[in-house]
Amino acid sequence: MLLLRLIYESFSFAANSLTANKLRTILSLLGVTIGIFAIISVFTVIDSLEGFIRDSLNSLGSNMVYVQKMPWTPPEGETEYPFWKYQNRPVPTLEETEEVIRRAQTIDNAAFLFGFGRKVQYGSTTLDNAVIMATSGGLMDVWNLEIAQGRYFTDSEMRNGAPAAVIGHEIADQLFDGLDPVGRTIKIQGQKFNIIGVYTPMGQDAFGTSMDRYIHISVVKSYYMIDVRDRDRGQTICIKAKDNIDTDKFMAELEGIMRTIRRLKPMEENDFALNEVSIVANQFDQFFVVFNLAGAIIGGFSILVGGFGIANIMFVSVKERTKIIGIQKSLGAKRYFILLQFIFEAIVLSVIGGVIGLLLIYAGTIIVNQSTDFTIVLTTGNIINGLMISSVIGFLAGFMPARAAAKLDPVIAINSV
């Protein structure tokens, strides 16, 4: 009952402070509001960005390895990227992909791919420099793609280089404007291709890539359109490991097979890169640690200013209610009662500022989500963090004024002017 009474009186005094001294209270709450808005909005944006990037990395496949000419990151223990070491490396080939599939015991599937830009035409509609993705069979399984309309390539179409294409939904919208693309014919570099399917919309990942914007054809057919011999056009072997396969065993087998295919001597360095998604994920982990720390520091200064504002209003409140404190003590109120009364009041005022700050963040997320393609989510965790931070700031800011109030002599307090 005592606790409920303290809470009730604290709310009452907080309400009186808000209504009796509107300008002073608003200015004091403004500091906490800005502080909570700054620190929680930073955390919210970082969490949303981190989720977006992790989803993009997961779309690449946690059990995937990309065999390429150059590594994605500098060598372990180094900060400089020595690109000159990789310039003269040979590019991966379709033949190497087939050899890896034939020899490896730990892989589930693999696909060879590269991309290039070409003019695409359907009737009078033209797309300049559309992205053509040429691949071997197996890409649908390796990347977990889905078909929304039509079908995927058959093995025969892939091996024989049939003039067939599966397109992304953005390409379908741009070329066919609502018409069913399946069965229609487009021209790429003057050659006719029959549309056999349309991919399910996937959206753009954090790296700016999307199957929605690609025209997918057989790599064998692409050899009649573009020269890829010893030319770096992003040739990549995408290799998907079997489920529950030890990563170290998978990587060791893959490295051994590639070294055998390339006929490298035991003391020679690899002339290929085995790029894992986990390597990039670790790089982003370090980035987000620094980003969160910077956000906490920036928001911390704003919160500190808000805390001083709450402390100021509480000292003024103690001064204004000195006679009331003296009367309460003369009637038997204990020190802890006075102490808790003012601490609760400071916490209530601070939490009100925190709630206003969270409401502003929520309104901001709605505006950003409706006006851009980037999705920002105010998570329950960040809401709880905002309320906890504002409560702690209220406690710290209210403790010294509350302690001063609790130590007042009742006789002197009653007779104060």
Residue 65 lies inside a defined structural domain of this protein: no
For 284-299, give one letter per residue: b (16+ CB within 10 A) or e: beeebeebeeebeeeb
Which of 227, 243, 271 is the C-terminal boundary of a domain?
Answer: 271
Q: State whether 191 and 256 are in the same domain.
A: yes
Q: State whether 295 and 391 are in the same domain.
A: yes
Rounded to whole angstroms, how far apart are CA atoms 321 and 401? 12
How many domains in the chain? 2
Tell me the CA distances in angstroms from 37 to 210, 291, 364, 386, one per residue in order.
34, 17, 10, 9
pLDDT computed for residue 59 by the predictor: 59
Residue 77 lies inside a defined structural domain of this protein: no
Segments forming the whole domain that contains residue 360: 2-57+282-414
pLDDT computed for residue 306 by the predictor: 74
Tens of pLDDT along the chain (417 residues)? 666 776 676 667 666 666 766 776 777 777 778 878 877 887 888 788 777 776 666 655 557 889 999 988 777 767 778 888 888 899 999 999 999 999 989 988 999 999 999 999 998 899 988 999 999 988 888 888 899 999 999 999 999 999 999 999 999 999 998 889 999 999 998 899 999 999 998 876 545 567 888 999 999 999 988 888 767 888 999 998 888 888 889 899 999 999 999 999 988 999 999 988 766 666 677 777 777 777 777 777 777 777 777 787 777 777 777 777 777 777 776 776 777 777 877 888 788 888 888 999 889 888 888 887 677 888 888 888 888 888 888 888 888 887 887 777 777 767 665
Q: State whether 367 and 316 are in the same domain.
A: yes
* Beta-strand pair 214-218/125-135: parallel
Rounded to whole angstroms, how far apart are CA atoms 272 and 93? 12
Residue 78 lies inside a defined structural domain of this protein: no
Q: What is the pTM of this model?
A: 0.65
Rounded to whole angstroms, how far apart are CA atoms 129 and 192? 17
Q: State whether 13 and 38 are in the same domain.
A: yes
Q: State whether 117 and 170 are in the same domain.
A: yes
Q: State whether 191 and 308 are in the same domain.
A: no
pLDDT computed for residue 280 by the predictor: 66
DSSP-assigned states of every residue in 355-414: HHHHHHHHHHHHHHHHHSS------HHHHHHHHHHHHHHHHHHHHHHHHHHHT--HHHHH
Rounded to whole angstroms, how far apart are CA atoms 414 and 325? 8
pLDDT computed for residue 49 by the predictor: 77
Q: State whether 113 and 236 are in the same domain.
A: yes
pLDDT computed for residue 216 by the predictor: 96
Q: State whether 52 and 102 are in the same domain.
A: no
Residue 73 lies inside a defined structural domain of this protein: no
